[in-house]
Amino acid sequence: MNSLDEISAFAAQNPLIAVLGCVLGLALLVLLCLILRTAFTASARVISRWAEGRPAEDILTIVAASIATAVSAQGMWRFFGDVLGFDGPLRLLLFAFIEVAVITSAVRARRNMRENYSAGIDGVAVWVLTCLSAVLASMDARSAPEVIFRLAAPLVAAWLWERGMAIERRKLTGRGRINWRFTPERILVRIGLAEATDRTASEVDAHRRLTRVALAAKRARALREAGASERKMRAALAKLDRAMDRAVEYAGLAVDEERQKALLAQIGALYNTAALIDLDPPVPWEHKDNKQQSPAAAPAAALPAGSSQPAQQQAQASPAPPIVDEDEEEDVPAEELPAFDTAQRAAMIRAARRYWDEQIERKYVPRAADIAKEVGIPLGLAREFRALWKLEPKAHALLEAAYKEHGIPDTGTFPAIEVPEPIMSVNGSAKSA
């Protein structure tokens, strides 16, 4: 009697128990389906959130590295059982310790990459532990193909991790790990089989033909200036004529204005090569302040030699001398201010501030005397207000510009602030050109 017959006989003898068993089994099956469905939905939601925003190559890299790590772990499982003789729970707990160490080092290396832009010692540990796992797993192999397979699986996982780190390094630093001096592209460019720029073949050919014309013209001119023989001159002119004919025929030199300008530029550069030795270029590390002339000497230098312009007209043409900031004068006696209540002082501050802002918008830093006269407040109080307001960025920028233009002492404590608009000096006169 088989098992099916036994179950049928038992159900016939105990129908109630058989029905209850069927109902209980069906309920357990439904519950198991619900649990599996919930687990699958939760896993799919977690995976979708994790994969959201990640490129496909990163996901495939992680999947492939996980498979390779699992293959390596299977080799270590056999190594622990066959070589070390571990069995039972101890084997289950210890067999994958190297793979866990590899994953831990990889996570630490990625964190170091994001914080310090380098994998550091953890990146080296990934490769060392991977090679150790590969060697140990291959020791229990039973054939040469299995040895190669056991060695290759961990190295594949490490290589995929390294490529992922290289992509992240490039994103963080904007550069690759190393730039080789000898690459296939550079070799092909060096021997003339490839183009270093994105120019088309027609553009490269036109440029070469224009260069041949310019060089032939330079050669003919040099021979003529050197007094060469008639035979050499005829040969040089014939070469120039051939180069010109080909440039007109193949480069469109007769109708293309851009190429005509390019040819003239090349000829101009080649004809004036000797002028390079007479150039007086500026010294790049010389301070700019050493090159600036004094404000009084600049107008005089602009006049022609032997000019008979009267001294009064020259003085009128030169910019007016800047007014020294009275806030910096140490010999000004302190003025006793009358007592003001809070409301009066607030009204004076508002009126003085309104006048100050208007003048600053006009690119003019008012003096304390101007504030006192326009607003109608004591001079000492105007000096107090100005001493505070002149340190603001806009006012300081104007004072700094006046310092650069006229050389008056700096009155602020901030660094120089460049103002691209035309700036008026402290006394309101326009900046000289």
Q: What is the pLDDT of residue 335?
A: 57
Averaged confidence pLDDT in the chain: 76
Instruction: Determine the average pLDDT of the residues in 322-327.
Output: 44
pLDDT at 245: 92
Largest Cα–Cα separation, the chain: 141
Residue-wise pLDDT tens digits, 231-285: 999 999 999 999 999 999 888 888 888 989 999 999 989 888 888 888 888 887 7
Name which residue leads in pLDDT, 286 or 116: 116
Of 184-193, 289-298, 390-399, the one with minimum mean pLDDT is 289-298
The ranges assigned to domains in the chain are: 15-51, 56-173, 201-273, 344-433
Angle, alpha carbons 252-254-258 (nearest 5°): 70
Higher per-residue confidence, 285 vs 132: 132
The CA distances from residue 314 to 296, 309, 311, 322, in Å, are 10, 7, 5, 17
The residue-averaged pLDDT of 366-379 equals 86
What 8-state DSSP symbol labels residue 342?
Answer: H
What whole-number distance in Å separates Cα of residue 274 and Cα of residue 222? Answer: 12
Is residue 369 within 8 A of residue 326, CB to CB? The reply is yes
Mean pLDDT check: name the lowest of 90-94, 208-212, 277-281, 295-299: 295-299
Confidence band (pLDDT; 50, 70, 90) for 306?
Answer: very low
Q: Using one digit for the tens of pLDDT, what is the confidence trace for 92-126?
A: 777 888 888 888 988 888 888 888 777 888 888 88
Q: What is the pLDDT of residue 217?
A: 92
Instruction: Decide: pTM greater than 0.75.
Output: no
The count of other CB atoms within 10 Å of the CB of residue 153 is 23
Distance, CA of 119 to CA of 110 (rounded, Å): 6
Q: pLDDT tens digits for 376-433?
A: 888 888 888 888 888 888 888 888 777 777 655 544 333 434 444 444 444 444 444 4
Q: What are phi and psi of 21, to 5 degrees?
A: -65, -40
In this structure, are residues 402 and 408 in contact, taking their beta carbons and an 8 Å threshold? yes
- What CA–CA distances, in Å, run from 372 to 35, 146, 215, 352, 355? 86, 97, 74, 8, 10
State the pLDDT at residue 334. Answer: 53
116-130, 164-178, 216-230, range with the lowest pLDDT: 164-178
Structural tokens at position 111:
């964190």
Buried b (16+ CB within 10 A) or exposed e, 34-46: eeeeeeeeeeeee
Is the pLDDT at 289 greater than 60? The verdict is no
Q: Are 20 and 28 in contact (CB under 8 A)?
A: no
Is the pLDDT at 187 greater than 90? The verdict is no
The amino acid at residue 167 is I
pLDDT digits (tens, 9 = 90+) for 13-53: 777 887 888 888 888 999 999 999 898 888 888 877 867 77
Report pLDDT for 337.
Answer: 67
* Mean pLDDT within 178-195: 78
What's the pLDDT tens digit per position in 60-85? 877 888 888 888 888 888 888 877 88
Q: Identify the pLDDT of residue 107.
A: 87
What is the three-class DSSP state of 307? coil
Residue 138, phi then psi, degrees to nearest 5: -75, -15
Whether residue 140 has pLDDT greater than 80: no
